[in-house]
Amino acid sequence: MMKPFLAMVLAFTITARGAERVDNGLLAFYDFNTIEGPIVKDRSGLKPSLDLRIRAQGNTRRTNGSLEIIKGTVITSERPPLRMLNALKQSNEITVEVWFKPGNLKQDGPARLVTISKNISERNFTIGQKAANLQSRLRTTRTSKNGMPAIDTTPILSEKLTHAVYVRDSSGIASLYVNGKKVKGQMTAGAMSNWDSSYRLALGNELSGERPWLGTLYLVAIYNRDLSAKEVALHFKSGAQAKMDPTKLAAAQNEHLFETKIAPLLSKHCLECHDPATTKGDLDLSQKLTAFADKDMIVSGKHEISTLWEAVAKNEMPKKRTPLSTSEKALLKQWIDGGAKWTLSRIDPAIYAQGNETSGNWI
């Protein structure tokens, strides 16, 4: 199940035809809604975003909600997705979801749908098509650098729109789902702590260009937790054209800002005087209940009338210590104006004293 660390991963809800997708643990989301250009946008809302680039754009055809690969190319991140890799290694869980339509049933290799790898023999994860079969490979401390032994399905694919989901929980139980139903389960023991942080994310091919996949992609999502069978079925019901709710996305971005920037900022500058033990000025900024006890202290959406902002802007807080930098003040202002979402039950200074901030994990 999901670890406490995962609270530091952005979550949001996507809606489509009245059905909702699950809202926690999402690391990257591609809906292929951009109809031109070489960039495939990551719609997860996480910063920095994990956008991908089509190496040979002329080998693809883009429409609103799909990307057809008509000739071999690779769609890849321009550098290793460290934010994603670190989150997956720490959770030791993964879900990779793909809506796709094969161009034919003769592809082999397997032809790569989604991969985090270096070449044809070194990977962290891959899901691909092998004729009419699906195959997945996951690197752990108990599998090979190539992610073997793999999970192979029986011939199950057709040249129709297909929903495929790979799920692996922290105990090592791995499952493949096709169109909402589990088709294969297998124990993949070991930890994902040995993942190589130099590998990049790619769609439609191996990074070396030797395992091209042909067909149409409609949606790709990656989570750092194991979706339940019920959640997988819900995503199948939601369909390939699921869209994000902008309001919920904005709220999720504000939550992420709090967890990755504001909580460390408060821990560094404020909790020495404003924690449960000291509460100078009767203010405890370590918990939501006490931080918002005075309705004027932090006014959601209005930094200009928030007492906390006023004290920080005038360098009255922190007292007798180095004031917040210009960039730190800008982050605090952004957080308050964005809704001042507070998602942690308590800010623990011990976490940030060791420099364990997710803000350093750039893509």
How far is it, in rounded angstroms, from Cα 292 to Cα 279? 14
pTM attached to this predicted model: 0.71
Please state the rounded mean pLDDT for residues 214-238.
96
Give the domains, in start order, of the chain with CATH numbers: 4-242 (2.60.120.200), 247-360 (no CATH)
- Rounded to the nearest integer, the mean pLDDT of the chain is 89
Q: What are phi and psi of 354, to 5 degrees?
A: -90, 5
pLDDT tens per residue, range 130-147: 999 999 999 999 999 999
Residue 233's pLDDT is what? 96
Q: What would the two tokens of residue 38 be?
A: 């070489």
The per-residue DSSP string of 191-249 comes to -GGG--TT-EEEESS-TTS-S---EEEEEEEEESS---HHHHHHHHHH-TT-EE-HHHH
Q: Which residue type occupies 91?
A: S
How far is it, in rounded angstroms, from Cα 272 to Cα 349? 9
pLDDT tens per residue, range 149-202: 999 999 999 999 999 999 999 999 999 999 999 999 999 999 999 999 999 999
CA 101 to chain CA centroid, Å, is 24
Q: What would the two tokens of residue 119 be?
A: 């070449």
Calculate the alpha carbon distances from 178 to 126, 218, 340 in Å: 16, 15, 40
Residue 1's pLDDT is what? 41
Q: What would the two tokens of residue 142 be?
A: 């108990």
pLDDT tens per residue, range 36-59: 999 999 988 777 789 999 999 999
pLDDT tens per residue, range 303-345: 999 999 999 999 999 988 899 999 999 999 999 999 999 988 8
How far is it, in rounded angstroms, from Cα 343 to Cα 38? 36
Q: What are phi and psi of 335, to 5 degrees?
A: -65, -45
Q: Of all helices (H) and strands (E), which one includes residue 178?
A: strand 173-178
Residues 6+ apart with CB under 8 A from 171: none
Dihedral angle computed from the Cα positions of residues 19, 247, 163 and 42, in that order, rounded to the nearest 10 degrees:
180
Which single residue is written with the structure tokens 């210590």?
321
| Neighbour count for residue 131 (Cβ, 10 Å) | 15
Residues 6+ apart with CB under 8 A from 354: none
Residues 6+ apart with CB under 8 A from 330: none
Q: Which DSSP state fits 258?
A: I
**Residue 277 pLDDT grade (very low, low, confident, very high; cuts 50, 70, 90):** confident
Calculate the alpha carbon distances from 229 to 22, 98, 165, 182, 340 in Å: 12, 15, 10, 8, 34
Residue 351's pLDDT is what? 77
